[in-house]
Amino acid sequence: MIEKKIEKIINEFNQFEDWEDKYAHLIKRGKSLPEMQEALKTEDNKVKGCQSQVWMSAILNDDHTLSFVADSDAMIVKGIVSMLVEVYSGEKPEVIISHKPEFIKEIGLDEHLSPSRTNGLFSMIKQIKYYATAYQALLSKSF
């Protein structure tokens, strides 16, 4: 399941030759990110290590998968977080924890972000894995 979502994103970005178009696509993705409730934009949900403001929250679904919601005050960052939400939502904690986000390199994002945005990207991934680890621990206690 996660592989199909990643393949879709890679194909999206492969449509564009230059990075100006890819940035425009990231911004477009960010605009289509589902709205995050203002009540969730708390200090606890703020992703540490991002230059921009980024909020992220996760819920455990009945089928033991996670769903993520996120937002940012910066359009490119909002596009980046929209990709992460798309890739990791609907996945079980163990899949999220073990997954290496190689797709970031495959689309060339790691080479075309400023150092501070790259740090922010990895902070967002770290936060997603943190949620997955916490929910995995919760699930293992409930069985």
Active site residues: 50
Nearest to 57 by CA among 39, 30, 73: 39
- Amino acid identity for residue 134 in this structure: A
Residue pair 96/25 in contact (Cβ under 8 Å)? The answer is: no
Residue pair 84/109 in contact (Cβ under 8 Å)? The answer is: no
Rg (CA), the chain: 15
Residue pair 84/124 in contact (Cβ under 8 Å)? The answer is: yes
Sequence-ordered strand ranges (E) for 1-94:
54-60, 66-72
The two three-digit tokens of residue 143, written as one number? 């069985």
